[in-house]
Structure 1
Amino acid sequence: MAKPKIGIIGLPGKWSTETLADAIEQRTGFRLIIDMAKVKLDIASGKLLFGQHDLCALDGLIIKKISSKYSPGCLDRLELLRIAEKAGVRIFSRAENVLRLIDRLSCTVTLANAGIPMPDTIVTESPEAALDAVQQYGSAVFKPLFSTKARGMCILDASLKSGELRNAIAEFQQDNPMMYIQRKLALPGQDMGLVFLGGEYMGSYARVPKGDSWNTTIHSGGHYAACSPPQSTIDMAHRAQAAFGLDFTTVDVADTDNGPIVFEVSAFGGFRGAKEGANFDAASAYADYALRELQS
């Protein structure tokens, strides 16, 4: 039986993309990293072309990264992949499932409907409602609907003078008409990423902030560490990821005085955190999983 041809959708030269491509090549002898910015859909012929490769002729596609940054344009790239799915290509994870995670609001609504505990959140286009939210929370994190690694986020505090606060809200809303506002929580010095492959729990890692930074992202100087969440937290994260049906993901969780809460479910999951914090080779495990799925 011929070995399947599996393409990697990602960012050429980036560690996680290249590591996954290495793992697939070692197992199949085939290596193709696809930059979605260079993909062309020909509706008339039904071909989804990357250079000389018709992605609709592959056996599988693994989405490691759809873009370097989240934006509404990522949704369009995922829509292109639905053509390949229709042609019978197995995509890890399905484009329709990933679509629900690129937009922070879509992710939040899905988690809320599944009864998953999250930080207190207000979503609004009204500056007055946003002002009320800050005053209600005391300190609030304003988050763009499309962002990763805390990019574009800001903290607004009720201690600001009314005029300053209104100006800050107006400035944020210039780029974010629909404002996503969360209560700023006092966290215990870290949050956690719980890793799932094929719906099964594989391990956890912690993100520890640099100094007194309000966020734990590596982009802001944080680092990965080992952690061992209790079974109740693992069970909650399992329910959270199950709402999306992803092949590989990381659930971002934090402990609070009122119990664990979920910040988000990742569209693509974190390879480096899994490796450095959980000692889990996500690339190799994901490659083995994809091959099993294609051969079953």
Structure 2
Amino acid sequence: MSEPRIAVIGNPGKWSTEVLADALEQRTGFRLVADLSHTALDLSCGKLWFDGHNLCELDGIIVRKVGTDYSPVSIERLEMLRVAEQAGVRVFSPATQLIRLLDRLACTVTLHNHQIPMPPTLVTESIDTAIAQIQQWGSAVLKPLFSTKARGMQILHADQGNKVLETELVRYKTRHPLLYLQQRIDLQGADMGLVFIQGVYQGAYARIAGKKSWNTTIHSGGRYAPCEPDAATLDIAQRAQAAFGLDYATVDVALSDTGPVVFEVSALGGFKGAHTGSGIDLAARLADYALAELRH
């Protein structure tokens, strides 16, 4: 019996994409990294083409990235993978599950409906309502519905005054009509990523903020470090990822004054944090998991 042919959907040349493709090639002899922005879906014959390959003829597809930035078009790219699924290709994680995660609000509502603790959150189109909430909280983080690595996020403080807040919110609404605000909490300079494969906990890593940054992302000068989440944190992360039915998930958790809170669940997080922070080879583990599923 021939080995399964599994493609990696990702960003060619990027570390997490390439190490997963390497791991699959070592195990199967087949290697294909496909960029969804360069695919063509021909619905007249039910074929999804990338560089001469019909992705609907593969055994499996592992989705790592759907572009360099998240935007509404990312959802449309994932919709095309549903045609491959219909043709019998096993997609890790399923496209419909991934779509629920790309939009920050969809992710937040799912977490809320599963009683997962999060920072206090307000979503509104009303600038007056947003200002009143910022005044009550003292400070807030304004977040785009589509973003990665804290790009586009903005801190707003009550002591800036209502006039300044109104100006900032009006400017923000020209790019993001729906205002998504979370109360700013004291991260104490760090948060954690807890990693799961098919709901099984794989390990965790910490992100330590840079000296001049309010957030912990590597993009803003943060660094990775090892960590050992306590039982309460692990339980919350386990419940958070279970709400989405993912093959691979990273749960971003911070420790607040009231206990652990979840910022988001991601199925497209990179492998470098776990590798650098805690020495976990997620590419090998995910490749082994996908092959076991296809051989089952």
> What's the TM-score once normalised by structure 2's chain length?
0.99
Q: Secondary structure at the match of 1:151?
A: coil
Root-mean-square deviation (Å): 0.7
Question: Which residue pairs with 1:43 in the alignment?
Answer: 43
Residue number in structure 1 paired with 2:200: 200
Write the distance in 1 (CA, Å) between the matches of 2:71 and 2:163: 31
Query: What is the count of residue pairs matched by the alignment?
Result: 296
How far did residue 37 of structure 1 move? 1.2
- The answer to whether the Cα contact below 8 Å between 1:248 and 1:269 also exists between their aligned partners in 2 is no
Match of 2:244 in 1: 244
User: Conserved in 2, the CA contact under 8 Å of 1:240 and 1:265?
Assistant: yes
Instruction: Kindly indicate whether residue 62 of structure 2 is the aligned counterpart of residue 62 of structure 1.
Output: yes
- Aligned partner of 2:113 in structure 1 is 113
Q: Is residue 72 from structure 1 mapped to residue 94 from structure 2 by the alignment?
A: no
How big is the shift at 1:279? 1.2
Q: Which moved more, 1:266-275 or 1:6-15?
A: 266-275
Task: Supply the distance in 2 between the matched residues of 1:233 and 1:192 (Cα, whole angstroms).
Answer: 10
- Secondary structure of the residue that 1:260 maps to in structure 2? strand
Residue 148 of structure 1 aligns with which residue?
Answer: 148
Query: Does 1:284 find its partner at 2:259?
Result: no
More divergent stretch after superposition (181-190 vs 69-78): 181-190
Give the partner amino acid of 2:221. Answer: G
| Cα distance in 1 between the residues matched to 2:267 and 2:150 | 15
Which residue matches 2:174? 174
Structure 1 contact 8–61 (Cα < 8 Å) conserved: yes
Q: Is the 8 A contact 1:206 1:224 kept in 2?
A: yes
How far apart are residue 269 of structure 1 and its match? 2.7
Moved over 6 A (4+): none
For residue 51 of structure 1, what is the amino acid of its counterpart?
D
SS at match of 1:196: strand
Encode CA deviations 1:221-272: one digit per residue, 9 max, x unaligned. Answer: 1000011111121011000000001111110000011000000001313300
1:264 matches 2:261: no
3-state DSSP of counterpart to 2:133? helix
Give the conservation status (yes or no) of the 8 Å contact 1:134–1:158: yes
Matches within 5 A, 1:84-163: 84-163=84-163
The 8 Å contact of residues 102 and 267 in structure 1, kept in 2 or not, is answered as no
> Counterpart of 1:239 in 2: which secondary structure?
helix
User: Deviation string for 1:16-43 (max 9, x for gaps)?
Assistant: 1110000000000000000111100111
Counterpart mapping for 1:187-226 below 5 A? 187-226=187-226
Is the Cα–Cα contact under 8 Å of residues 249 and 270 in structure 1 kept in the other structure?
no
Secondary structure of the residue aligned to 1:175 is coil
User: Which residue of structure 1 aligns with residue 295 of structure 2?
Assistant: 295
Deviations 1:49-83 (A, max 9, x none): 11210000000000010111000000000000000
On the 8 A contact 1:195/1:269 being kept in 2, the answer is no
For 2:124 and 2:277, how far apart are their aligned partners in 1?
A: 36
SS at match of 1:123: strand
What is the CA-CA distance between 1:277 and the residue it aligns to?
1.1
Q: CA deviation at 1:177?
A: 0.4
- In the alignment, which residue of structure 1 is the partner of 2:253? 253
Q: Which runs of 5+ in 2 are unaligned?
A: none
CA distance in 2, matches of 1:163, 1:260: 34
Distance in 1 between residues matched to 2:55 and 2:270, nearest whole Å: 25
Percent identity over the alignment is: 57
Distance 2:139 2:161 in 1: 13
1:149-197 CA distance string (max 9 Å, x none): 0000000100012211110111111111011000000122200000101
Partner SS state of residue 250, structure 1: strand
Question: Offset of 1:96 from its aligned partner?
Answer: 0.3
CA-CA distance at 1:212 after TM superposition = 3.7
The structural deviation recorded for 1:144 is 0.1
